[in-house]
Amino acid sequence: MTTDVITKRIKVEISADGYSAYVVAVEPDLLPADIQNALATSGVIFGLDPRAPFDALNAIGQPVLAASGTHHVDGSDGRIEINLSHERTPAEIKFGITNIREGEIFGAIVKPTNGSAGLDVFGRQTRQQRGKPALVLAGQNIKQIDTDDRIKLAATADGNLKISNSSVEIVPEYIIHGDIEYSDGDLEFVGTLKVLGDVKGNCRLKVGHNLCVEGSVEDASIMAGGDAVIKGSFVGRGYGLIRAAGNVSVHVILNQTIEAGGSITITKESVNAHLIASDSIEARAAIIMGGTVTAANKIQVRTLGGELYSTTRVRLGMRELVNEELAAINKDIELHGKVTAELKSEMYTLVRDKINGNAFDEEKAERLKALQDKLREQNDIIAQLKKKDVSALEVNRKQCPKLSVLGTIHQSVTAEIRGVRLPLKQSYTNVVFEESNNEIIRTRNL
């Protein structure tokens, strides 16, 4: 604080930062103009309080705030912000997984701000400290969306969010260096997952793309949006399920269930398992004994069934699979048809009000437009379902499924191709079975 003694009767005190000026009236015999002149003589010209001279005269000997400057505001530094759309599960936290889906805006690089300059009571500009930019680069699989105050970060692929001191990126493939235990709880990864150990117990695992397990799988429930490769065994008490949109490959399977949108490959053996493939089942060097085996196009196996083993049931062709799909499609069409009927009924009431002039206000007009949009959406859904219906029937007509046994098919096998029963009065070796005109044709494997 500096003090200017203008006269013995008036003192002006300035704060060290220059943002405040105080005046002290030492004697009572003064006029407001004397106070004003004293401030001007001290160079105080900005932020003057017009009431200060009168207040000073009413508080003889006491400092009174006479002028206040405008403080400068330093700019803020740039930073990265992450805004996840969901809470991470305990399993995701344990394995260091942060799921980000393609198209998701998960955060932003906030730009630094300049701040603003100030003015002290002498009218001098005081400079601010400008913010520093964040030293973070957007890496692979990230799209940057530039706005006024930030750069939004959007994922261009499904994967794991990886943040380091200098970069942020989305990594599509993640590796777990060990086992997944039942105690870990449910685990989901939206990208491609590789497990270097085993999947133990009856845990639940969901993978958005491909899955590779270097070890074995017990009674787990596994869902994969792509392919699933189990390099060890898939053995348990019969509670295990692997359902993949793509292909599934397994070395040994016992008691468990596999459902594949593509093909199932078995490299050694399948015992008392339930196999369903929308394309084919490949077991050229493997044995399939017991359980059920269902495929749309082809089953190729080294040995099928066993002399002293329980019955192995085989279904080949799309008929059963298509019938199930058609039933689901028709049910969806029926449900959307009911929604369409309800929309039309409400629309009819609103249109009648509009024609008759029955208080058809803005709210009703907006409701009618929303119903029209919803009706178009429902009609589009029904049209797509009908296309799927026709496509499924067409696929069924074009199928020419084959059962190819490179070694032995045992008499205990119960099989049908496109709904036609395969009569096995004995065991055969190196044969191919096909359906033609509701009859089973047997030929030699070439």
| Segments making up each domain of the chain, as ranges | 2-68, 74-117+127-171, 188-311, 321-398
330 phi and psi, to 5 degrees?
Answer: -65, -35
pTM for this one? 0.70
Whether the predicted pLDDT of 129 surpasses 90: yes
Tally of helices (H runs) and strands (E runs) in the chain: 5, 35
Of 28-32, 51-55, 333-337, least confident by mean pLDDT is 333-337
pLDDT band at 335 (very low <50, low <70, confident <90, very high): confident
User: Of 114, 111, 42, which is closest to residue 72 (Cα–Cα)?
Assistant: 114
Q: What is the rounded CA–CA span in Å between residue 345 and residue 364?
A: 14
pLDDT single digits (tens) 156-187: 999 999 988 788 999 999 999 999 998 888 99
| Residue environment code for 263-274, b if the CB has 16+ CB neighbours within 10 A, otherwise e | bbbbeebbbbbb
Residue 269's pLDDT is 95
pLDDT single digits (tens) 56-112: 999 999 999 999 999 999 999 999 888 887 889 999 999 999 999 998 999 999 999
Mean pLDDT on 137-141? 87
Residue 86's pLDDT is 84
pLDDT band at 311 (very low <50, low <70, confident <90, very high): confident
* Topology classification of domain 74-117+127-171: OB fold (Dihydrolipoamide Acetyltransferase, E2P) (2.40.50)
pLDDT single digits (tens) 408-444: 999 889 999 988 898 888 899 999 998 888 888 888 8
Q: Is the dihedral of CA 405, 411, 413, 418 positive or negative?
A: positive
Segments in 119-277 forming alpha helices (H): none
130: tokens are: 């400008």
User: Of 220, 227, 230, 267, which is closest to residue 247 (Cα–Cα)?
Assistant: 227
pLDDT band at 394 (very low <50, low <70, confident <90, very high): low
